[in-house]
Structure 1
């Protein structure tokens, strides 16, 4: 079960109700800076992780006057659509709030997102590189996405997409159970995305993993990462 560190208490809290009812992820972001986009990214990841775990989840945005620019940035970074902030919630729904450090402190479990600085997605040829650069740091850790970090993320994306396209030509093999377990343990522990990326690097080079299993592993993880790792399929 996905657990987040509740910023109010500093203790782990389940992101879904015990009866596996719906979860509403409410993102609080009033601007259009990279920190605001990071708040939306964490909300997007929460919804994806909950869905992979078999829960019903949706994302809502409580934003300010710059909401159109923020939504455009979210689309560029491959996020799901955010609904407008609801006036009420369905009885029994678990509500998890996502907000920047020092931002709103609503009632209920809250994920605190540290500051991020760097270029916006509109300034990049492949915004997925920015998404990957942000995922390399835990959401509770401040991050500055400079040219070197973006260059490294872009090179990693290119390498992984080419590898996934190559592995797809091999006979399909299931995700190794130990790999699946480590991936799930990583993202279910307060969205430990850096550990997820570390596991993908191990799978990429591990001689014991067949290419068909590498492909299925990357496709499985990309349901959460949202990096379009299968973009190279069908290319020569």
Structure 2
């Protein structure tokens, strides 16, 4: 059972109701910067974790409506579409409501002054939600989602705009007010720390590739991994060093997975499967999931078992680790 820490009380709570009733995940975000994107990304991963546990989820986008720039960049990072939230309170059959909020601007009760990052962030973190989804299906090594999470037919990922890096925590009153408003929202509050620094953003090209507008011109999957490589309670750097480390890891893992796929498939050892689930069910410890993958990478498990392990974990991570399967060596 996935348990997360309620930022208002500091206490762990069940993310899903005992009878697997509907859980509503509402990501609150204003503006378009990398901190807002990190909140949105963690909401996406939270939805994936709930779905992997068999919980029906309705994921919604709170805060400002009609944010095409943020949605386009989110699509480039593999974040599934989010519905506009409307009324984000309880109701509509939801047995649980989880509000994914930015830690630094939310001023959440019970955390005290200076809680969260304690440092100037690249962008004001508002609140973020994710959109409802059908249960994820994996076929031929690639993700395929139905319903509200189907791929963007307009190709928004190829037109992702540049991040707004001109903002700072001191110049985002709208985000602060949005965070303050979240105090009154009933349900669990899941806080995400801000992005602390950002590499220069590549210029946007009207018909350029999906990495147009990404920090440092990085592959969107590299940016996604960099944002997931720190505990969500800590500010994350998105600088050149962080992007380089994420790129090295992603290239190595994709190459390894493609090689393992050439060997007969083997079942994931129950011990490894249990370690993965124990990690993400413990306050959505994505870093723990990455540690398990690093151990498996150099283990003596059969190649087929390592392939299945990485494919399984990628249902949570969304890094397209099986992308190079079948490509020339």
TM-score scaled by length of structure 2 = 0.69
Q: Which runs of 5+ in 2 are unaligned?
A: 107-178, 202-210
Q: Select which of 110, 114, 120 maps to 2:189.
A: 110
Conserved in 1, the CA contact under 8 Å of 2:17 and 2:96? yes
- Count residues with an aligned counterpart: 235
Query: Within 2, Cα distance between the matches of 1:65 and 1:94?
Result: 23
Q: Secondary structure at the match of 1:38?
A: helix
Superposed displacement of residue 65, structure 1: 6.1
Structure that is richer in helix per residue = 1
Corresponding residue of 1:138: 231
Q: Select which of 200, 212, 222 maps to 2:304.
A: 212
Task: Map Cα deviations across residues 149-183 of structure 1 (whole Å, 9 max, x no partner).
Answer: 10110111111111111101111001111110110
> Cα–Cα, structure 1 residues 195 and 132, in superposed 2: closer, same or farther, change >3 Å?
same
Q: Select which of 86, 91, 110 maps to 2:93.
A: 91
Q: Select which of 208, 227, 232 maps to 2:319.
A: 227
Conserved in 2, the CA contact under 8 Å of 1:30 and 1:66? no
Conserved in 1, the CA contact under 8 Å of 2:257 and 2:322? yes
Query: Within 2, Cα distance between the matches of 1:56 and 1:91?
Result: 11
Superposed displacement of residue 93, structure 1: 2.9
Q: Select which of 240, 250, 254 maps to 1:157.
A: 250
Q: Secondary structure at the match of 2:62?
A: strand
TM-score scaled by length of structure 1 = 0.95
Q: Which runs of 5+ in 1 are unaligned?
A: none
Query: Within 1, Cα distance between the matches of 2:86 and 2:296?
Result: 41
- Indicate the structure (1 or 2) with the bigger Cα radius of gyration: 2
Task: Map Cα deviations across residues 106-142 of structure 1 (whole Å, 9 max, x no partner).
Answer: 3210011101132466223411101101111111111
Deviates further, 125-134 or 181-190: 125-134
